[in-house]
Every structure is written in C-alpha cells, then in structure tokens.
Structure 1
Amino acid sequence: MVATPLLRPPSAGWRSLGSTLHTRPAGPAKSSLHTKIAQVTSGKCRYFSTSVSKWQTDTLDRTRNIGIIAHIDAGKTTTTERMLFYSGFTRRIGDVDEGSTVTDFLPAERARGITIQSAAITFHWPPGEGAEGRQIDCDPKLPKSAVSHTINLIDTPGHADFTFEVLRSLRILDGAVCILDGVAGVEAQTEQVWHQASTYQIPRIIYVNKLDRDGAAFGRTVREVSSRLAVYPAVCQIPWFEGGNGAFVGVADAINLQGLRYKLGDDGRSVKMLSLEQLEVEEPPLARELRNARVALVELLSEKDDAIVEEFFECDENHLAVSSMAIISSLRRCVLDQSSQVIPVFAGASFRNMGVQPLLDSVVNLLPSPPESPDPEVSIGGVTGGLRRLLSGDLILEQTEKASAPVKGKKKKKTTALADPRDAISKLQSCALAFKVVNDPKRGVLVYVRVYSGSLDRHSLLFNTNLHLSERAPRLLKMYANQAVEVDSIPAGHIGVVVGLKHARTGDTLLSYAGNKPTPPEPLTSLQLRPIDVPPPVFFTSVEPHSLSEEKRMHETLALLLREDPSLHVSIDEESGQTLLSGMGELHLEIARDRLINDLKAKASMGQIEISYRETGLGASNVVTKIFDKEVAGRRGKAGCTAVVEPIDDRDLSEVADEDTLLAETVEGNQIVIRAPGLQVERSSRNDEEASPLLPPGLEVSSLRAALQNGALAALARGPQFTFPMHNTRTTLTVNPEEHLFGSDTTTSALSAAARQATSAALRDLLSGPGTVMMEPVMNVIISVDEASLGSVVHDISSSRGGHIISLDEEVPLSATDASNTPIEDAARPIDPKRVYAPPDPFESPSIGNDVPTAVSRPRTITAKVPLKEMVGYLKHLRSLTAGRGTFVMSVDRFENMSTPRQKAVLAELRGGF
C-alpha cells in the first residue's frame, strides 16, 4: 500500500515534493555484509552494524521470496521489469517486444516474446540497503514498507507447455503475485497455476493489469476471481478513469483513502497524490466509489478477523475512520491464514508504468517472510509431513516406527543403528532445495538453491538425496542487483547460488551433515523437500548427430538440457538405435531443439515430432512356461518361469496378492506380480534379511525378485503386434522351486532371461487369442473462445478431430488435472459473485444477470477430451477460427484404446501410406 509522506522515513522509495510523490531508483547496495551498513539518527528507526550471524537471524523477517504467476501474455515480465526499474536494479525499462528484458535472457525467449525458463532476481524495496541492516525500536504505526526489504523474485512462464517449470518454481516460494489480464479476466491457465499454488498453500495477492486497454473491465474480473478461483476478493484499489469514462490515469487506494494519479507517457516515477477530500472536489464519482470500496473492504475483513471488528467499534462504527495500519494488519492476517479465503486485489497498467510501486508495497506489507510461510512438505522413508516436524524429531520417529514394522515381499536395507533416531536430525547442518540450474558461460554451472534449515557453508560436503552422491560446494554466491557477492554461507530462508557442483540437477535435495560426512545416516538419505512427480512425456522427436565424431558432444549437450529441465527425457530406441528426446508439448520440444542447436552449438539434426503410442491386450493370454537353457560367456545358465498377461481391471493389487506373492508393483503403467508358491521365505529377526532354503547357493530372495521384474519389464517394452510399449497390462510371473530352479545353474541373468522369454511368449499368445489394440494419449483440453466462434470450434473438435465435448462454461472442469496430478474437483466451491463488492465498469456492455454480457465477445469455455495427435499444431488452427482470440490449455488425461478405423488411419500414416 502507498503510505502518506508522513508515514515514511526519508530513506524510503517515495519522497514528497509538494503535492506530488516522486520515486527514485537507487543503485544496488555497495556495502559488504561484514561492514557497517548505515546509521539513521533522525526519526524512530535506527540501523547499526552487525555481524554475519546476527544478520542471518535479524534480517530474515525483512526478506520476501515471491513469484509472479499468471496466464501467458498477462504481463508478468512487463511488471517484473518495472519492479526492477523502480527498485534501482536497472537504469532503463526493458521491453518484451524489443527483447531487452532482464529476466527473459534466452535468445528463444526474446525472439518469441514469452517466458520459457523461470528467472530469479534479487532487489530491494524500497530502494536502499535492503536487509543488510537491522531495524530496532521501529514505530509500530509505520507499515513494513517503510523500511527496505530484500525481495527474491521469480518470474515464471505462463505457457501451458511449461506448467512443470511453474510447479517446481512454486516449491521454493513463500508468497506469490497472481497477475490477471483486465481484458481477458481469469483465463484457463490462470486457474491451473492458482490450483498449483494452492497445492503448496502459498499466500497470494492479485494484481489486475492492462486496465488501460480497450475492453478492460476491473469489476467483471473481480467477480470472476470469486466465481472461478473460489476466494473472496478484497478490493484494495479501484481504477481511476478520468472523468469517469475517460483514459485510465491512476488508482484510488481504499486502504489509505487517497488517489494516485500518474502522468501519461511518463516513466511512472512522478505520482500525484490526492486525499479523499481533494477527490471529492476534482472527481466526485471516484470519491463516492472509493467510499463504497472502503466500506466493502472493512465489512469483508470484519467477517474474517475479530481484531478489525474491535477497531471498527472503537471508531464508532465509522468505516472511514478505521486506520490504514489496522486494515493492513488485518489483510496480512487474512492472507497468512488461507482458511479465510480472502485475497487482496490491486489495479494497474504495467506497460503504462501505473500501479507497480503500490504493488511492491503490498508485497512487503502483506506477503509472509520465510518464518511466517506455511511449513513445507517433506518426504522421508515413505512418510510425509512438515519440515518443522522433521526438525523437531517427531517425523523421523514416525518413520522409524513404520520402518521397523515388517513389510511382506520387501527386504530392508541395512541402516545405521542410532540410540535415538533424533540424533541424526541434531547433526543435520543444512537442508536445501536446488530449484534452478543455469549454464553460465563465465562462471560455469550455477545451481540456485533455497535453504530451508540451518546454514549452507562454503566448502561443505553436500549429499544429494536424489542421486545418492556427495559433492563439495567450493563457492557460494549471493546475488545483489547486477553483481554477485561471494559469501561464506547462505542462511535458512534465503536464496543463493552454489558454483562448482558437477551433478546437481533441478529439483534435487541437498544436505550437509556434521563432520562433513559423505553420507548421512538413514533415513536422511531418502529425505525429499517438497517432492514432485514429473509427468510422463507425450511428445518425442529423434536427435541424430551429423557424424559419429559429434555423438559424444551431442550427448553432453543433452545432459546439460536435462540438468536444467527434468521434464525433458532422453532415451535410446533399442530397435533403431536412435536417440529420442521427449517433452511435455510441441512448443516445449521446439524450444529444446533451438537451445540444443543454436545456444549449445550441438551439430545434430532433429526429426519431426511424434506421438508416444502404446499397446494393450484385449483379454488374458494362456499360461506360458519357458525354460532358459543356454551357455553364456562360458557359463551355463538354466532357469524357468511361467507367465500370464492380461489387461488391468478395477481390482486392487491387494486382492491379487497372497502369501505366495513376492512382489506386486505398478511400473510405467503396467502391473507386475511375482509369485513363488512353496518358496518358504524366512526373515531374520536380527537384520530382517530374507532367505529361503530352496534357493540355490548365492541366490537371494531380493535378487530373484529383481531379476524376474527386470525380465518382465524388458518384454513389456515392446508389444507383440505394433511394437509399441505395453500399457495397462498385468503380468503375473510364477516360479516353482521344484520345476524352475536348477541348483547352481540358476543365476540372476538366467532368471531374467526366462522371465523375458515367458512374458514375450505370453504377449505373442494374445495375437492368436483376444488380440491387442493400439492406445493413444487423450488430453483434457480447456479452450477459451468468444461467443461468435463457439459453434465453429465445437464443430471442429467433435467432428474433425474425434474429440468429445465434456461441458460448456463449466467454471471448474470436473476431470481436469494439473501437472501435479491434483484433481481440480477437490478445490473449494465457487463463491457467489453477488456477495462480492466490485466497482462498476464504465465500459461494460449490457448484460443479463450479474456478469454475463450478451455481446458476441462474451467469453466461453469449452472442456473436451481430444486425442493428442489431433492437438499437434492446433493453436494455429484455433487462431484462424477465432480471429486470433482463442487460447487453450491441455493436460494428459489417460491412454485410451483406439477404434479400428482410427487405428488403421494412424498406422497408414506412420508407414507412409497417405
């Protein structure tokens, strides 16, 4: 919020010059962390020099780790550029169209004008020394934005193909700013990223952008926030249109009861502030609406916060007399308590340099510091819980109790004996999450980390719980403006950079343990910070080097791409020997192709994008038994196995498991069940190892289980009829000790070969019986169009593309899922827009009901299920049908069986028969 000049110390980012407020950008802080920062003797706030240890403790409350989330083209990068300019990070405002922005630094981003990779930037607001000083005895009547704070900002992508990039960035945030297009309102991808933020319980505020454009409707957007996002919008600012229906010139602040008028065509640093009394003289309609906004804001907060009710009664039930600090404090409590469902809403036009400074104030005043943020989720040894429970030792005790319970069919690993399991936590020095990997041409590979506990120190040995290896951190950097400051440690709650790690990838959890031990005791080796499942890829293309001498270089550059983006996958086709690059969407692979060839200079060529098809059986096969008997590398191997394959039905795995079941597991969409009747598995009470007297010497139960599973997986990788990988298939392997084990001749390689042969024979048996059918990925597609284009788009989906229309104008699609596989149907129920205050829109067209315009430009939403093949290149076709106004997002739903005519058409196309 924008405070009056009297409520700000002289060092803040706004200073009063008569009736005009000016903002000045300040350069990055020049002082070191170990030296005296500043000392202000006037006023009620003082600073004093401090040591690094005190700096780590005392300044954490003055740090904000926030992200910008929104639909594509809502103005995320444009808003970020203004934030950097007003904070003094940059000396000129970058432009997306010119390709001169700071956060969009990749050539592909600047060429397309979109954000592809999340970018992390650190700056201070208000401009000043940031969190390098310590505030003491500060007047409680001052807002938090009266003192400079350090803001770690992450600009995230908005395109649907990069939803996973948004999801992994959200994991390290304490708060978020959701930007809405004032013309388009709440769009489909906005709902996706909103629900993803809800998954991690991230406090948010909303900024309605582009209010200077024709068709902007702030009131309609506020009502859509309530109906589509299921929250109560607390309108803190309303747009200021000159004369009530003229150009957008500023915002009216319902918290401080003042108007902020910006000079048209200016860089936004000169802002004229008008009190409510002045507005009543110059802009009576705006003053009346500002009073209504203040009344509605106090009424909404009084329903959720008892403290504001007491303040209201002390002010003799006068809404206008409630102090701005009381409202700010109440808003902050509501934002931190997400059960209140209150979300502050602000207004502006970033491209015209209007409303960004008040937005920065609200970031500091309302969003949480690291200690106030929700407890991040961790996973350790199959037990999930909060990080604070882990650090207190409760979670590790729960994991230990679970691990001590016998689990059938599983062999326990050897663990380090601890008198008290909580001793492992007491020696844990730091716990950090690597959320971004950047290949810097000057400094090498930079690993951006968020430290969650302890302190990550230079030269410490970091254990990677994902890769199970240790690396030393030779250098640590703290980013201040455009310079990197080398530091000795990164404290908890802060974001820094580790230079020199050779193996760490995006999403890895890094631990340092007392004594620089290379491997911490279990179960800390399985600790995962805010674990995330990478969705399976659905697009893939071939990558071929120009010559054999370039093959090594090509694989090195592919490894760099995979370190930066785990949603990319590289595999080798066993049949053709081709290297396949797979990703989340058409644009995703196109960007990867550009980076590989143009940025990383790999001498390779890329094939056309292909669809990942699958194959499944239409019924169960006969029981097939195979005996492997062959001499391999001079040693005879002999083993047998019986296999049956069948399509998966609705039965649970627990129903097919019995006392003879060694393994019942789902891998890559297929279920593998291993049975060994009569094996007589015995478990040692001392170390819980599994053994059987019927197994040959040197062969353990765990080796038997792993060999059979690997053999079945190898066979399932290739279908019997169409050679596509099998999917939705249950494979039951049975090993009879008397018939299938042959003493010392039975080795793990022989067992694996027998399982592969038996599974392959069972799959071939399907061809003479029920047969197999191709499967294709089907997508959940949410298309946003206007009323005039609705009919043509529906007809195109249902007839030309073989899709199924699920619903029209459903506010919450019932079957759509986001990249984290969190069902949207679990979201809160929508809020009635009639209960929500929204200022009238001066340019709103006539409507029926509350917010449903009758014009042909009325937005409509189509929810459909469409085969992925038909969605390749669909964006260009959709734009031609909708005169460039249509957009869509899609997520993987499932693989479905193909009809016979469609299967023939796809096979003919794959074989070149058009």
Structure 2
Amino acid sequence: MVKFSIDEIRNIMDKQPQIRNMSVIAHVDHGKSTLTDSLVAEAGIIAAASAGQQRFMDTREDEQERCITIKSTSISLYYKKQLESGDSTEYLINLIDCPGHVDFSSEVTAALRVTDGALVVVDSVEGVCVQTETVLRQALQERIRPVLMMNKLDRAMLELQLQPEDAYANFNKAIESVNVVISTYNDGGFGDPQVYPEKGTVAFGSGLHCWGFTLKKFAKMYSKKFGVAEEKLMKKFWGDNFYDAAGKKWVKDSQGGKLQRGFCQFVLDPIYKVFHACMNDDKAALEKVLPALGITLSSDDKQQKDKKLMKVVMQKWLPAADALLEMIVTHLPSPKVAQAYRYEHLYNGPLDDKYCQSVKNCDPNGPLMMYVSKMVPTSDKGRFFAFGRVFSGKIRTGQKARLMGPNFEHGKNTDLFEDKTIQRTVVMMGRYTESVDDIPCGNVAGLVGVDQFLVKTGTITDAECSDACPFKDMKYSVSPVVRVAVEPKNQSDLPKVIEGMKRLAKSDPLVQCTINEESGEKIIAGAGELHLEICLKDLRDDYCGGIELKISDPVVAFRETVTEKGAYDTLTKSPNKHNRLYMHAEPLPEELQEDIEQGKITPQDDIKKRSKILQDTYGWDQDQARKIWSFGPDQNGPNLMVDCTKAVQYLNEIKDSVNSGFQIAAKEGALCSEPCRGIKYNLTDVTLHTDAIHRGAGQILHTARRGCQAAQCNAAPKILEPIFLVEIQCPDSVLGSVYSVMNKRRGTIDQAIQRPGTPLYNVKAYLPVLESFNFTTFLRSETGGKAFPQCVFHHWQVVGGDPWDKNSKIRELVVETRKRKGLKEDVPTVEEFADKL
C-alpha cells in the first residue's frame, strides 16, 4: 500500500527547506540497491517483507539477472519525521540509486550533478575500495555533502566472527579512510564535509536484513536511563571513552583492558546478544531481551529460525529506513542551502548576472534555469525522458523554452534551439512516471519532447532569456577507450543501424558512436568490456529492432605523441608553390596536459591570466604564452598551436586556415590517424604571396595539416596506450597466481596490502587495456574463482621502440591500426609530408 499520493508530493515541492536531493553511491557489490529497498519499503512502494531481496531500483531485466546496477534510477519518497513535541514535518526525498561498477561511473556523474547530498555505502568487511574513492572524489568536485553507511555488519559479526573491539577497529579504520579521501579532495568551499559517528553522520547496519542505526538511536535509549543529555552520550559512544561502573564515571583509558569501550559495551554488546540468541535458537534469552527493547513478535515471527528470526527481530528493533531517513533529513542540505555554495561550480557565465543570482538563491519566481544531465528511455521505443534538475524558476507543461546543448557558445547559434515546447513534465518513480503540471526549482524532473533537440545533456531556460549562459558541462572520471566496429549482416538494414546508434548515444552519458566518413566504419566506444557488452545488447534489442549485427573484436583507442623537440624546422609549400610554412613540434609536460584535460587551462581563459600560469608554472617564454592560436582536437584537447613567428606580413589572414589544418592533424595523427596528445606545434616562419587570392584557405589549410604531420614525424613520434588501474581482492593462498597472471599480461604490481584481521589482500596493479580482454575470466580460472578484479582507466603510457623498426612492438601496433582503417601499411616518414626548398 502506497503511503502517499502524487498531490502530496507536488505540495511539498514548493517547500524548499523540506526537500532533499540525494544519490546513493558506493563500490560495486557494497549493497546500494539492497539498502535502497528498505527506504522504498518505508514509503510503502514495495512490501517490507521483500525489502532487501527485490532490488526495486534495478529496473532492467539484465540488472536483475546479473545482480548489478547498470543505469542510475530516480525515485521520489515522502517521509514524515516525528518531532519531540508530537508534531511531524513532511519531507520529500528525491533519491537516485547509482551503479557501483566502474564501467558505469558516467551514470554516477550524471546523478551527482542533480543532487546535493550523497549516501556513501561502504562494506564494513572490505572497507574503502577503488570505486569508493572515485565516486567520493566526483561528489566533492561537485560540492556534494556526504553521509556514510557502514553496511554488512552481519558479515563482520557472523562470517568473520569479530569480537566487539576488533569490529570497532575495523569500522574506525574504514571511517578514517573515507575522511582521508574527503580531506584530500575537499576544496574548502562548503565547510567540513567529513563524517563523524559522534555527530550522527555515520550509520551502521545491514541492508540485506533491513536494520540499521546511528549513535543517536542508542544515545536516546540510554539518556533516559542515565539522565544524561543525548549529545553528551553520543560523544562518549565513539573514540577512546570507557565507562567505569564502580566509580560511575567515563574515563579515557581502559585501565589495562579491564574496562570496555563505550561503543562496544553500550552499542555492540546488546546487538551481539540478540544475534547469539537468534542464531542459537535460545528462546529463553530472547524472551528476556525482547520486552526490554520494546519488541513484540507475532506468533508467525516466533516460528522463524536463525537468520530469518534475526532479520525479523533486528528490523523491528532498529529499522534501517528510520535511521537512514533521519540522518538524510538532518545532515544533508536542502536545495536552498546547497545552491548557495554550488552555484559558482555550476554556472558558466558571469557570477553577478540575474540568472546566476537566481540559481544561488534557488528562487522559484526567478527565470527558469534547468540542467538536463541524462536521457532515460521511455516505454515508447526510441523516445526518451530528459532527466534533470530545476535550479531556478519553474518548468511547466506546454511552456516555450530555449534549449542550449553542450556545444553551445554564448553569442553564437551552434547547438541552440529556440522557442521549443515542453510537452509534459513528470516525476520519476523508479519503474513508473507520474505527470504533474509544473515542477518548481530545487527538484528533479523528467521532461517529454526535449529528446529530439538535446543529445545527452543541456541547459533549458525561458524562451525570452536570450542572454542566459548554459551550465558547465560534466567531467567524467572514465574515458571511452575500448571500441568495436559494427555492421549489419544484411546491408539493407544499414539505415536501422545508423538510427539505432543515434538513439544509443542518447541513452548512455559516456558511449561514443561515430561513423568514419572516409572508410564508412561505424565505431562504438565504451569504458570497458562490460560497458560495451551492455551498449551492444541495447543497440541490438532496443534500438535496432533485434536485427543481426556483425561485431568486430574489441580494439583499443591509442593516442599519438612526440618525445623530443624536432631537430630542424620542416617546410611545407602550398599547392601553387607561392606560400611556405616552417614548423617544428615538441612535447608538452604531462602536468600541463592534465590541466588542459581537467579544464584548469582552457581556450576561454583570459589571455593575461593564462600566460601568467604558463610562465610561472611551466617556464614558458612570455611572448609564446600570449600567442597560443588554438587548442586541439575539438578546440579543447591537450595539443597546442603556437605562433613563434617574428614580423610576418598578412599573418592574421591565414590564422583561421592554419588552425583548421592543425585541428585535423591533432585529430588524425601522422602515424596511424589516432588523436594526438601532448604535442606543441610551433609555427616558426611563414612566407606568403602578396596577392590575397593566392593565399586563401584552399592553399593554406592542407599545407598546415601536412606541416603539423611532418613536424610530428620529425620529433621522435610514439604512440600512447591506455593503462587500467586494477584493484584485486584475493586471499593470501592465491597471491602467487595473481602475480603470474599479471606478468603474462604485461602488468606491473604497485602494492599488495593485507587487510587487518582477515586473510584478504588488496592488490593494486597497472594493466595495459590491450591485455585486459577476458582478463577477469582468465584471472578467475587461474585462482579458482577467488580473486575479484576491478579495472578503471588510469593514465596513458608511451609504447617503447621505434615506429620504423620492423621488429618493435610499437611498429606492430601502428601497422595493425593502419590496416584496420584501410590505410597503406608502410609507416609514413617526414619526407612524405615535407617539401624541399
């Protein structure tokens, strides 16, 4: 039975202090969807009995089959908080359950953008893992306040049989690890986001058995008994606080192990007692304990045994939903509070204009500003809900709006759609949607009719707001480095495949679908094997009507680079032989490449500020730092075109043509037409014809492209291959096998750390993406299924050797890539691109 109606939800949408937008984030298999079930059950959407098994938020068939979350799913929950005075406050909690698998971390980015708080779930046995760190880092970059749930306490108690003191040490270590990550990535813009059990920002419990608590729950229980204030007790229930019963006082040390820690004595002991009584079927002990805890069991419940009995008792005594919902509404910010410190990270225009101020104040009467962070497929094949967050104003069914896509630039008309109608506004409810007339700011919303204009993301404002700037684009923590080529078995199905690829590109925030204009190759790129597998399944079944597809073996995306400064300037002449360009290339420092990729240095920066950073941090010459012509590829990549000429006539007339040539050369390098990375092209001298007609774009563009390629070949060119960071969890008995598998796959082990109190090791290693296909299967077969790897893209690494040496690894990779793209097999040399005087 549903405990609320859509009208009640719509009423609360106007009360900003009572709204919480939050996502549930964690490492894979730490129990997010299972835990979310107990929250969904509290709202009456699923039966309490099936909570923990149903995984209601896993809405797709393949999610239920594989027991993993693939897409982030949103649901609105209604919560009534009882106050001491006997009154109650209503809250609306917009909750998004995110995937934990690293291949889908782009879904997490999309969810974090539209929420203000995050429930971070950590397995109390496994502790903080690689993906916990990744999602926390993403959350803090978006200025999202975290609260922590230590999950799977039943494992710590039953499986590892930990004593209370060891369990405390385990929890404490995990909480410290979370706080280390938080303090590393916190930019200081929104107070102290670290989590503390004694302040109530950490919950403990078991999602599977639907029980959980914060220290507040126990402080409340004991405060009546001891006559001490709750806040005081909460502080005593964590850290080095020991209760001396004889002296009736709290002390700071255990007096040689005589005294028990407050947390162990007052919190864990009662739980252990209930556990033992249930697991040993000790009815007598239970009958003593239950009345003291205020629990009455029905006659059906009394028939249960072992874990089932334990689930019933724990659920009645410490319901997980109550503890979590109270923690969420107390410690996570409302939209009004959050937008006051998030606005500068969100808005891409001047921070003092009326749109930005309206976002900062979360003003329902201000102009409409909404960010669409992803597309959600509807039951109508091929159509999508645009899912996003209203940051200012209201969005109404039937209103006219102005839509700005991710490639929109202020003052230009690219990727801009004006005067478009919003067909319907809906509230997302897990597997269902509910239509409403309008949705005010501070809430998440789904829109119908926007999918035909926006591809994946974008900004929506009122039709008349022509001077509004868009929101900043999202930064993903993974890159699409694994690709396959797709062809229909039957060529007459080609239009279906092309249409299907367009829809697939919409449905996933990260996937890249491209069609090579020269070779006609249709490429789909994803973050890893699993991500690609899911995308291809969706393409075939949902977007192409189940037609048969031919799919190539997965191939890896490389990057091209240079490793030395060119020995001399290469010369290229225009087709009419009247214009000459002289260039050389040199490598950019790795730190500068990363700053460009992370958006710290961009083409839009103020030239003086940017040149000061380049001079101070990277030791550039002042003249060159001010004369960067272009970033490439795609106007924002980590390659630069720099004007190093002195006193050349008519230079400005050819600037655009040279930049266009550079963009093509940076997108398709000289070795094997892969994108370039970390190359600085210096234009050192130019000789131009005095007649304008002889130095037009037709003469200069391809000359500049060849010039860049010749300069690249002249500066010790290399290719970069992508490297995964692999985290493997395994018992010490198979550690040797893990090392030998990594050696066979060109991997390097970085560290292997034993987890205290367990025989488990956490191994961190680096593995070339090239070697990662079927790596999981191979590793499991070699270790008897005892090792579990997680791969996430980490960095680019130079492949050693000389591309012109017939026996080198790099030559083999370059030739293979050239063959695949239908280029001639010989690796080109400087002479093929450069001209002689």
TM-score (norm 2): 0.70
**Whole-angstrom CA distance in 2 between matches of 1:66 and 1:780:** 29
**Whole-angstrom CA distance in 2 between matches of 1:173 and 1:349:** 36
Could you say which residue in structure 2 is the equivalent of 1:151?
Answer: 93
Change in 2 beyond 3 A, CA 1:351/1:649 = farther
Could you say which residue in structure 2 is the equivalent of 1:625?
Answer: 571
Change in 2 beyond 3 A, CA 1:86/1:533 = closer
**Whole-angstrom CA distance in 1 between matches of 2:475 and 2:738:** 35
Q: Which of 420, 429, 434 is equivalent to 2:367? A: 429
Change in 2 beyond 3 A, CA 1:795/1:240 = closer
Could you say which residue in structure 1 is the equivalent of 2:297?
Answer: none
Could you say which residue in structure 2 is the equivalent of 1:410?
Answer: none
Could you say which residue in structure 1 is the equivalent of 2:647?
Answer: 678
Post-superposition offset of 1:781: 3.0
Q: Deviations over 1:827-880 (max 9, x none)?
A: xxxxxxxxxxxxxxxxxxxxxxxx822xxx433323333322222322223334
Conserved in 1, the CA contact under 8 Å of 2:116 and 2:333? Answer: yes
Q: Which of 758, 774, 796 is equivalent to 1:873? A: 774
Post-superposition offset of 1:151: 1.6
Could you say which residue in structure 2 is the equivalent of 1:641?
Answer: 581
Post-superposition offset of 1:708: 1.0
Post-superposition offset of 1:646: 3.2
Change in 2 beyond 3 A, CA 1:746/1:349 = farther
Could you say which residue in structure 1 is the equivalent of 2:337?
Answer: 372
| One-letter amino acid matched to 2:568 | N
Conserved in 1, the CA contact under 8 Å of 2:149 and 2:204? Answer: no
Superposition map of 1:530-679 within 5 A: 531-532=474-475, 535-573=478-516, 576-600=519-543, 601=545, 603=547, 604-619=549-564, 620=566, 622-629=568-575, 639-649=579-589, 655=620, 658=623, 661=627, 663=629, 665=631, 667=633, 668-675=637-644, 677-679=646-648
**Whole-angstrom CA distance in 1 between matches of 2:372 and 2:391:** 11
Q: Report the more deviating stretch, 502-511 or 432-441.
A: 502-511
Aligned residues: 677
Change in 2 beyond 3 A, CA 1:447/1:238 = closer
Post-superposition offset of 1:675: 4.7
**1:807 matches 2:751:** yes
Could you say which residue in structure 1 is the equivalent of 2:727?
Answer: 782
Could you say which residue in structure 1 is the equivalent of 2:74?
Answer: 120
Conserved in 2, the CA contact under 8 Å of 1:120 and 1:153? Answer: yes
- SS of the residue corresponding to residue 90 of structure 1 reads coil
| One-letter amino acid matched to 1:433 | Y
Superposition map of 1:37-48 within 5 A: none
**1:84 matches 2:26:** no
**1:455 matches 2:394:** yes
| One-letter amino acid matched to 2:764 | T
- Gapped regions of structure 2 (runs ≥ 5): 180-193, 241-248, 251-261, 264-306, 407-414, 593-612, 802-807, 826-837
**Which has the bigger relative contact order, CA under 8 A and spacing at least 6?**
1
**1:65 matches 2:21:** yes
Q: Which of 113, 136, 149 is equivalent to 1:207? A: 149
Could you say which residue in structure 1 is the equivalent of 2:326?
Answer: 361
Change in 2 beyond 3 A, CA 1:253/1:570 = closer
Post-superposition offset of 1:386: 10
**Whole-angstrom CA distance in 2 between matches of 1:543 and 1:75:** 35
Q: Which of 787, 810, 821 is equivalent to 1:903? A: 810
Post-superposition offset of 1:493: 0.5
**Whole-angstrom CA distance in 2 between matches of 1:103 and 1:520:** 39
| One-letter amino acid matched to 2:451 | K
Change in 2 beyond 3 A, CA 1:28/1:550 = farther
| One-letter amino acid matched to 1:176 | A
**Whole-angstrom CA distance in 1 between matches of 2:103 and 2:197:** 32
Change in 2 beyond 3 A, CA 1:350/1:623 = farther
- SS of the residue corresponding to residue 727 of structure 1 reads coil
Conserved in 2, the CA contact under 8 Å of 1:180 and 1:206? Answer: yes
Post-superposition offset of 1:221: 4.0
Q: Deviations over 1:417-466 (max 9, x none)?
A: xxxxxxxx999611111123112134942111211112223313133152
Change in 2 beyond 3 A, CA 1:899/1:369 = same
**1:493 matches 2:442:** yes
Superposition map of 1:700-711 within 5 A: 701=652, 704-711=654-661
**Whole-angstrom CA distance in 2 between matches of 1:744 and 1:446:** 51
**Whole-angstrom CA distance in 2 between matches of 1:152 and 1:612:** 38
Q: Report the more deviating stretch, 875-884 or 456-465.
A: 875-884
**Whole-angstrom CA distance in 2 between matches of 1:238 and 1:190:** 16
Could you say which residue in structure 1 is the equivalent of 2:64?
Answer: 110
Could you say which residue in structure 2 is the equivalent of 1:439?
Answer: 377
- SS of the residue corresponding to residue 576 of structure 1 reads coil
Q: Which of 173, 184, 197 is equivalent to 2:126? A: 184
| One-letter amino acid matched to 1:626 | T
Post-superposition offset of 1:156: 0.0
Could you say which residue in structure 1 is the equivalent of 2:707?
Answer: 758
Q: Which of 5, 17, 29 is equivalent to 2:5? A: 29
Conserved in 1, the CA contact under 8 Å of 2:671 and 2:814? Answer: no
Q: Deviations over 1:245-271 (max 9, x none)?
A: xx9996676424389xxxxxxxxxxxx
Change in 2 beyond 3 A, CA 1:256/1:568 = closer
Q: Report the more deviating stretch, 493-502 or 556-565.
A: 556-565
**Whole-angstrom CA distance in 1 between matches of 2:309 and 2:710:** 64
Change in 2 beyond 3 A, CA 1:148/1:573 = same
Identity within the alignment, %? 21
Change in 2 beyond 3 A, CA 1:602/1:627 = farther
Post-superposition offset of 1:76: 1.2
Query: What's the Cα RMSD here?
Result: 4.5
**Whole-angstrom CA distance in 1 between matches of 2:433 and 2:203:** 39
Change in 2 beyond 3 A, CA 1:81/1:191 = same
Could you say which residue in structure 2 is the equivalent of 1:308?
Answer: none
Post-superposition offset of 1:751: 1.8
| One-letter amino acid matched to 1:167 | T
**Whole-angstrom CA distance in 1 between matches of 2:352 and 2:346:** 11
Conserved in 2, the CA contact under 8 Å of 1:639 and 1:741? Answer: no
Change in 2 beyond 3 A, CA 1:728/1:350 = farther
Conserved in 1, the CA contact under 8 Å of 2:42 and 2:48? Answer: no
Conserved in 2, the CA contact under 8 Å of 1:782 and 1:864? Answer: yes
Q: Report the more deviating stretch, 642-651 or 224-233.
A: 642-651
**Whole-angstrom CA distance in 1 between matches of 2:77 and 2:121:** 20
| One-letter amino acid matched to 2:662 | A
Conserved in 1, the CA contact under 8 Å of 2:28 and 2:99? Answer: yes
Could you say which residue in structure 2 is the equivalent of 1:773?
Answer: 718
**Whole-angstrom CA distance in 1 between matches of 2:352 and 2:784:** 49
Post-superposition offset of 1:299: 4.4
- SS of the residue corresponding to residue 147 of structure 1 reads strand
Q: Deviations over 1:378-419 (max 9, x none)?
A: 468977869999307999xxxxxxxxxxxxxxxxxxxxxxxx
Higher helix share: 2
**Whole-angstrom CA distance in 1 between matches of 2:9 and 2:51:** 33
Superposition map of 1:707-722 within 5 A: 707-722=657-672
Post-superposition offset of 1:559: 1.5
Could you say which residue in structure 2 is the equivalent of 1:727?
Answer: 677
Change in 2 beyond 3 A, CA 1:251/1:460 = closer
Post-superposition offset of 1:792: 3.1
Q: Deviations over 1:119-150 (max 9, x none)?
A: 011121249xxxxxxxxxx966458xx43322
Conserved in 1, the CA contact under 8 Å of 2:205 and 2:320? Answer: no
**Whole-angstrom CA distance in 2 between matches of 1:240 and 1:165:** 26
- SS of the residue corresponding to residue 376 of structure 1 reads helix
Could you say which residue in structure 2 is the equivalent of 1:234?
Answer: 197
Could you say which residue in structure 2 is the equivalent of 1:464?
Answer: 404
Post-superposition offset of 1:722: 4.5
Q: Report the more deviating stretch, 585-594 or 193-202.
A: 193-202
| One-letter amino acid matched to 1:376 | R
Could you say which residue in structure 1 is the equivalent of 2:288?
Answer: none
**Whole-angstrom CA distance in 1 between matches of 2:775 and 2:781:** 10
Could you say which residue in structure 2 is the equivalent of 1:406?
Answer: none
Post-superposition offset of 1:482: 7.0
**Whole-angstrom CA distance in 1 between matches of 2:688 and 2:767:** 49
**Whole-angstrom CA distance in 2 between matches of 1:441 and 1:62:** 32
Q: Deviations over 1:645-700 (max 9, x none)?
A: 333357986525627936153543322224554357xxxxxxxxxxxxx47xxxxx
